[in-house]
Structure 1
């Protein structure tokens, strides 16, 4: 039996999401969690919080207009082997400790257009996507099944157009959240961690998941004040002794994307420094999935081409149909 959107999204979610969205848009809060799998996220449910030096959190930052099977494949991906060796994550089966689906109310390239899904509709679809993230994950290297860390997922909103800006804001937010969770989890009979100078709060380690087409916004000088400033900011963003973020990039079929082709040489020249140090790693999300795009879904819906349903999950297809989204003229991605 296929779950319907109404059976997955609880009553009041849309109004709750709208309130948090307005807080971010009005500058009251730089980032808000619209949904979290449990109150102690990003810690794993049932795990002690005082013995964790760090938490490895994947961040899938996208427009989600709408989420496709490519988004799902990337959200469910494992850390690359080169990252696993250095992450020392405590999660089983080479997984991330926690996962985040992130929507920015400002985008370096895209603006909200007539016919697009609203931000609240996108947040609802992100909630549906979190439900679709598989509950059991099988390690491709070992063939052994383990509890899936995708169950430890959150949906968030941020007001930052660039990845380097998002990392700074998210790290600040997550450090405060981790400290608050540790404080609230402390037993009244235990020694206060505020009086224990040797105690260090767990440190968030972020891996941004993106498609190769999105590399334009990360490594192209036109998104920064200057090329020199870009390199400095990227080194802060990706340096292990600074923000210590990583980038996992999915191969995408962008051969027809003229803008990407024109900037590819420049992008790869800048990215080379970080690729050789394994701070930026490419992965394969599947021969079919790498061809899927949100713009194709929107165009097919507008053209009344039913094949669009094969590009998204069933619950998201039902949500689009029930909400009559994208039924107007097709829009550019």
Structure 2
């Protein structure tokens, strides 16, 4: 781990050393939001002429980060200004389905390590990136939480980047007290907070981890989600916000979209069982995860 940490810049190296204590304090003090890394101390740094800060939020389990996560982070809004002023990687210590996590998952600290590596990777493209912890499982509530805690020199507009599997879950009534509560949450998110959802389609094979395995034969043309299409055809609430611009669908390169955290975990467990050499392991991981994450997964035996 120390060898990986030494590859980071000075700001990220200092954040890396503090991650463990930051996470412990977050949980012990029952905090709800905490920035644990920012590209610049005054993140987000905005031009003086900026009238509204457009922040891209990538809210995921990062278990581990994949090339699909990096692809999502590099999406651009279709409407002006056609760029984001900054990016926020968000990790919730509490998941709506999985609670505090499942056996075999990377630990929260390991995920933060990998999120920091992903942030450093994207900063090479001149992105302003922050990494934050939240203790809230649902997107709508997270949005309100961010508006309460984030400070900038201009009003914020949050653009939530997600795969189609996440968008489908967002509109499942089982996560809300009632249909009315879901409608109210949508009104607060899309109207009052003026937040948006940018959805990149992911196929069922990629979500399940089939398409992303090395040597998989699932055709790249399967980068479409029948579940998403069913949602938008039969869920009037989701369709309403799609038609009104609150939800935007974006294409993602099928060669990138096919990768999933499930596939990476499956591959690593199979590689260990087969006694795969370090060289073969690294070569395969290079096709699945961002380059800085490769040595971490290859040496830390996370899964």
**TM-score w.r.t. length of structure 2:** 0.81
Query: Which residue does 1:247 correspond to in 2?
Result: 197
Matched, 1:74 2:72: yes
Partner of 1:54: 52
In the alignment, structure 1 residue 156 sits paired with structure 2 residue 132: yes
What's the offset of the Cα at 1:263? 8.4
Please name the residue that 1:169 is paired with.
145
Pairs within 5 Å for 1:13-162:
13-44=15-46, 47-48=47-48, 51-80=49-78, 83-84=79-80, 89=81, 94-111=82-99, 112-133=101-122, 135-136=124-125, 148=126, 150=127, 152-162=128-138
Q: How much has 1:15 moved relative to structure 2?
A: 4.8
Q: Deviation string for 1:270-290 (max 9, x for gaps)?
A: 310000011101111201111
Identify the match of residue 234 of structure 1 among 172, 186, 208: 186
Which of 218, 222, 225 is equivalent to 2:174? 222
Per-residue deviation at 1:8?
1.2
- CA deviations 1:113-171 (Å, max 9, x no partner) are 232211111111111101111634xxxxxxxxxxx4x2x11111111100011000001
1:7 aligns with 2:7: yes
In the TM superposition, residue 11 of structure 1 has moved relative to its aligned partner by 4.8
SS at match of 1:205: strand
C-alpha separation in 2, matches of 1:255 and 1:229? 32
How far the C-alpha of 1:298 sits from its partner, in A, is 0.2
Q: Flag the structure with larger Rg.
A: 1
CA distance in 2, matches of 1:153, 1:14: 15
Distance 1:7 1:253, change over 3 A: same
Q: Hey, what does 2:264 align to over in structure 1?
A: 297
The unaligned stretches of length 5 or more in structure 1 are 137-147, 179-200, 327-333
1:325 to 2:302 alignment? yes
Residue 254 of structure 2 is aligned to residue 287 of structure 1: yes
In 2, are the aligned partners of 1:61 and 1:103 still within 8 Å (CA)?
Answer: yes
CA contact under 8 A between 1:61 and 1:210: conserved in structure 2?
yes
| CA distance in 2: counterparts of 1:153 and 1:114, whole angstroms | 30
User: Relative to structure 1, is the Cα distance of residues 226 and 104 closer, same or farther in structure 2, using a 3 angstrom cutoff?
Assistant: same
SS at match of 1:17: helix
Provide the secondary structure at the position in 2 that maps to 1:133: helix
Deviation (angstroms), 1:6: 3.0
Cα distance between partner residues in 2 of 1:256 and 1:156: 26
How far the C-alpha of 1:52 sits from its partner, in A, is: 3.4
**Runs of 5+ in structure 2 lacking a partner?**
209-224
What SS does structure 2 have at the residue aligned with 1:303?
Answer: helix
CA contact (8 A) 2:207 2:260 kept: no
